[in-house]
Amino acid sequence: MKTKFSLLICLSALLFQCATEEETKSPLWGVDFSTESATIYAQGAIERQSAEFSEMYIINSAYLRQAEEDLYKISFTFENGETIQLVVTKKTADCNYHYPGTESENQLISAVFNGTALDLTESSIAVQPHLEENKLHIITDMHTRNAGHFNGILSRVPLVK
């Protein structure tokens, strides 16, 4: 009886572990899903430059999350409380996203800085998986008509559900 009970417990644990792994994998992004609490471990900065000024924004929290069927939101909150939200669509295994792009490639769809839509000109971002950390590495090279240029590197950005 003890053997059957032990076997049943082992099988239950094994099945539970398999189901949990299935739910956390994201083959699309190359990293596992993280919890919301991981957003505060993001690191890096984005520099905003224009002809009149240059300002450095230090990251406080960041994440990437699915917004709609094929749209994903990348959100950055900085130490001074300011924010950037990017919307991208992922169509290929490539890590690069372009604005403007074509329907058959990954695209940077929009960018919002502190609630104001940025009027993007030719821009790109890269979203690279870092398997050793199970997080994403994001490089921005965004150019706008209304708010200057946003260039920076952020690491340890989690993929959240």
Q: Which two tokens stand for residue 82?
A: 């300011």
The full set of domain ranges for the chain reads 27-160
Q: Which two tokens stand for residue 65?
A: 């999350």
Mean pLDDT of the 94-123 span:
96
| Full DSSP string of 107-139 | EEEEEEETTEE--B-SEEEEEEEETTTTEEEEE
Quick: pLDDT tens for 141-156.
Answer: 999 999 999 999 999 9
The pLDDT of residue 86 is above 90: yes
Residue 70 binned pLDDT confidence (cut-offs 50, 70, 90): confident
Helix (H) or strand (E) holding 11: helix 2-24
How far apart, in whole angstroms, are the C-alpha atoms of residue 96 and residue 18? 32
Whether cis (ω within 30° of 0) applies to the bond prior to 27 is no
Architecture of domain 27-160: Beta Barrel (2.40)
